[in-house]
Each structure stands twice: as C-alpha cells, then as structure tokens.
Amino acid sequence: MIIPAAIALGLWLALWLVPWQPWRCREHLEAMDAPSARDDFTVLVPARNEVDVIAQTLDGLATAAPNAAVIVIDDESDDGTAEAVRSSGHPHMRLIAGSPPPPGWTGKLWALEQGLREVATPRVLLLDADIALAPGMVSTLERQADAGYGLVSVLAVPRFAGFWARWLLPAFVYFFKLIYPFALANRSGSRLAAAAGGVVLVEREALLRAGAFAAWREAIIDDCTLASRLKANGVRCWLGLTHGARSQRRQGLASIISMVARSAYVQLGESPLMLFAATALMGFAYLLPWAALAWPGPTRWLGVAAWAVLALSYVPTLLYYRLNPLQSVFLPVIALAYLAMSWHSALRAWFGTRSTWKGRRYSSAP
C-alpha cells in the first residue's frame, strides 16, 4: 500500500508543479466601472422556459450595454417566457419565435442559428437566459477582444443557494479547470480549446468562416466545440473566471445531477474504456489517500500528505468565490459524487438516452 500512496502523492505534487497550474485562478476578468457605450455587437439570448430569470437578464443588459441590439429567441417556451420578454422594456430588443429544431440539431444551437441570421454587427455576444451581467462587464469583454482575441468567454458565478449548490457547484468549476486548464486553452500554440457557453463574445466573421452553428449542430458540449472550431481556424480564444456575470438559476441536487449527466459521458468520448479509466484515476487520486489512513506508519503519513495537497488545490477556487476554504477537506467525497453522476450519464446513454436538457431528449450519437 505504501507504493500506491506514494504515487497518489506524486500525482498531486505534479499538479502543483505543471507550468499551466490549473488549480489557480489567475485567468479572470472583472467588470469595469463604466457600461459599454458601443453598438458594434448584437446580443443573442436563447430562451426556453426561462420566465423566472429572463427579466433580470434583460434588465442587466439594459444597464451593461444600453446601445447594443438584443435578439431573444423564444425556443418553444410554454411558461410565459415570451410575455416576460415583451414586457421587459429593453430599448433595442427583438423577440423571435423559434421553430422546432430540425433533425440532427440540439435545441440551443438551432435557436442561436436562427438568431445569427438576423445579425449584421461585427461581433456577437452569446448570453444564456439566466446570466445577469454587472454594469461594466461588457466593456471588459470588449477590451479583451480588442487585444486580439476573436473569442472571449467567462465562466459565470453559479448561484450558491442551498446546501447542494454550496457544496457541489464550486467543485464543478474546479473540475472544469482541471479538464480544460485555462492557461493552455488560452495559448495560441496549444491544441486545447474551451469556452463557457453562458457568456461568449465572438467575431461574427470568424463564426461564419468556421461554418457557424450548423457545423457543429449536434454538439452536446457546444461551447467547447465552438472554441475548438474557431481555434482550429487560427482564431485566438480566451477563457477565464469572473465575478461580473452571475447565474440566477437556483439549483438543487436533481438539477445538478441533470446538468452533469447531460454531458459527462459525452466528455469521455462516449467510451466505456474512458469511463473505466476515469473511474480508476479518480479513485486513485481522491479516494486512495483516505484509504491510506487506515494503514500504519509511513503509508498513513503519505495518505495524510496526499489528502492535504489535494485539498489545498481546491482552496483557490473556494477563496475566489468567497466560500469557506475548509470545504476543501471534503473534496474526495465531492469527487465521488461527481463520479457517480458520470456513471449515471453513461448508464442512461447505454439505455438509449444520450442526453436530455430542457425537456428535450437526444437519443443517439450522429
């Protein structure tokens, strides 16, 4: 047992030492003081059954980008979303009644495709219907784009309301940064590409050259696919954290499980071999340090050291979101929960449901 414990410790020490340091929160953009005064971009907001949050999103846009055109695509909502949009009072807002997705399209990408057809501005801001922007956030995105990035994306702050959200959602960001190290994704010479679909400012011409949304119409992980397609075409991409964009969506355990299961098995290439490899790796990295505590002598101390190093890797994420850093001690339990959600995603796929989201079911890979 002493050798596995030593290897586990070595894995976590290697995570701390790799040059891109994915455990850190260095890549972030914060809102500037002044809202955007420009009108050279159009905001696309796909909305499906978002009556609880869409008004706050549009209110935030009216302050953050008062001169920008806003196109809301009502994606077959049946909960009053369209009425909430019409009564929002945004000065430059248009509402499009979306049509059902054609075969082979995911719902969100089809909604964005319909909106993109109405855009003539040089840039497009893709904004999820639950994201509220701080007054100066759009100006910050524009400044980063002006530095030579064809795509700028930030990961909105999840809503940490309720027990499950406070414990599980910070880890979602942490694991996302481990899978897609921001420093590598932002490096032009790296093949790794990633984006956070809630807030994406992108050049319209770059989007069209890549084939627009039709080129990846079936993608479940549509944001990272977008970044990958653009980066393959030589477009510089940037991804980071922010406090200037916040999700208003309240999430309980069921909705978090649904969110993770929607794409977890797809992330693993829908491969049983990759699922078993990920299970072995997570068990080795997160659970073995705890198991080593039951052994006497050096093995126990190696387990303690590995547990301490893995917990410390989670602390920067918790501090960035101003959460209790002591939550890091329980990261192995949280990792086990995410592993269980990944297996739920795989089992569902094996029984015929590749992904579900917003009441739509995608049954098989194209």
Q: What is the pLDDT of residues 195-223, one digit of tens each?
A: 998 999 999 999 999 999 999 999 999 99
In this predicted structure, the answer to whether residue 291 has a pLDDT above a threshold of 60 is yes
Mean pLDDT of 6-26: 92
Instruction: Supply the pLDDT for residue 364.
Output: 59
In this predicted structure, the answer to whether residue 363 has a pLDDT above a threshold of 80 is no
In this predicted structure, the answer to whether residue 156 has a pLDDT above a threshold of 70 is yes
Q: Residue 38's pLDDT band (boundaries 50, 70, 90)?
A: confident
Contact in structure between 141 and 196 (CB atoms under 8 Å): no
Q: What are phi and psi of 35, to 5 degrees?
A: -70, 165
Dihedral sign for Cα atoms in the order 314, 319, 324, 326: positive
Mean pLDDT of 285-306: 88
117 closest CA partner among 86, 169, 73: 73
Percentage of the chain beyond pLDDT 70 is 99
In this predicted structure, the answer to whether residue 123 has a pLDDT above a threshold of 90 is yes
Instruction: Supply the pLDDT for residue 365.
Output: 52
State whether residue 70 is helix, strand or coil. Answer: strand
What H or E segment, with its residue span, contains residue 246? strand 237-247
CATH 3.90.550.10 in the chain is located at 41-251
State whether residue 225 is helix, strand or coil. Answer: helix
Percentage of the chain beyond pLDDT 90 is 82
Mean pLDDT of 253-262: 94
Q: Residue 366's pLDDT band (boundaries 50, 70, 90)?
A: very low
- Average pLDDT taken over every residue of the chain: 93
Instruction: Supply the pLDDT for residue 56.
Output: 93
| More confident: 6 or 366 | 6
User: Which residue, chain included where needed, has tokens 């009644």?
Assistant: 97
Instruction: Supply the pLDDT for residue 163.
Output: 95
Mean pLDDT of 169-189: 95
Contact in structure between 98 and 50 (CB atoms under 8 Å): no
In this predicted structure, the answer to whether residue 271 has a pLDDT above a threshold of 90 is yes
In this predicted structure, the answer to whether residue 351 has a pLDDT above a threshold of 60 is yes
Instruction: Supply the pLDDT for residue 357.
Output: 81
| More confident: 33 or 179 | 179
In this predicted model, what pLDDT tens digit does every residue of 300-340 receive, in sequence order?
899 899 999 999 999 999 999 999 999 999 999 999 999 99
The class level of CATH for 41-251 reads: alpha beta
Q: Residue 284's pLDDT band (boundaries 50, 70, 90)?
A: confident
Instruction: Supply the pLDDT for residue 27.
Output: 96
Tell me the residue type at 133: L
**Out of 137-146, 170-179, 232-241, 286-295, least confident range:** 286-295
Instruction: Supply the pLDDT for residue 255.
Output: 94
